[in-house]
Every structure is written in structure tokens, then in C-alpha cells.
Amino acid sequence: MEYSARGELVPDDVTIALWQEAITAKIVDKSFKPDIDVLILDGIPRNRCQAELMEEVIQVKRIFHLVCHDRETIIHRLKKRALKDNRLDDANEEVIRRRLETYERETKPVLDYYGQDRIEEIDATQTPSQVLVHILNQINPLEADHHAHLNW
């Protein structure tokens, strides 16, 4: 909280430590069972450093990269989400454009870190339910192969 209060980003090592603590708590309370459950992450890792730190703890099997080549479509969807979910941060187009630039600069390189063989591109212009079905169809074979490999 002290970082955000100062308007700073939380350092990567702190972010990953907090993530690991949250996952460990889910294992302890049995809401996540690494030997039988699949762990799906959304929003982490946000950069290559976080990906490298996480690699010490978890073996990432697949990356679902939601792709939309039309920036205006992305902006329109985020503004629509802002209204639907009352997310004021998504209502400002300038903020959205800055986020997209940050994604290109900091988050997209994570794809290179993991390599093309682990990336499944999904057309993000589909309906949310179509995207979900696509992801679920990709997860089922992964479940049969093996589950999240956590090195706790």
C-alpha cells in the first residue's frame, strides 16, 4: 500500500512474493490443490522480470494471448466495460491509450520470454463466451497432461 500511496509501482520481487503468499494460502486452506487443479493466471506476470521470478515457483504450460489488431476496437470495448462495471479508470480514452502503450512496452515482451511454442493466440474480437470456450478447449488437454507444477 505504501507504494501506491506514493504513486509508485510495487517492485517486481514484492509483487511476486505477494502472489506466492496468496497461492500458498489457497493451498493451505485447500481451495487450490496443485496436484489436481489447474492454475489460471490473469494479469500476472506483467513484465519479463516478474516472469523470471515466477519461473522459480511455477512451470507455465500455456499462454493465452488475446489478440485484437484494431486499437479502436480495444478502446471501444474498454469504454463499454467502464460503463458496465463502473470502472472510472477505463472511461478516460487518454488513460486507455497510455495503458496500451505500457502493454506494448512492458507486458508484450513476456511473450518472447515464454516462447511461441507455449502461446495460444485467441481472437479477442469474438464474444466473451466464445473466447472462454476457446480457452476451455485448450485447457482440457493440459489437465490430462499434467497440472500446475509448483515448486513449494
pTM above 0.95, yes or no: no
- What is the share, in percent, of the chain residues with pLDDT greater than 90? 45
Pairing type for strands 149-150 and 119-123 reads unpaired
Please report which confidence band the pLDDT of residue 56 belongs to, taking 50, 70 and 90 as the band edges: confident
Rounded distance between C-alpha atoms, residue 142 and residue 61, angstroms = 8
Map out the domains of the chain with their CATH numbers. Answer: 2-150 (3.40.50.300)
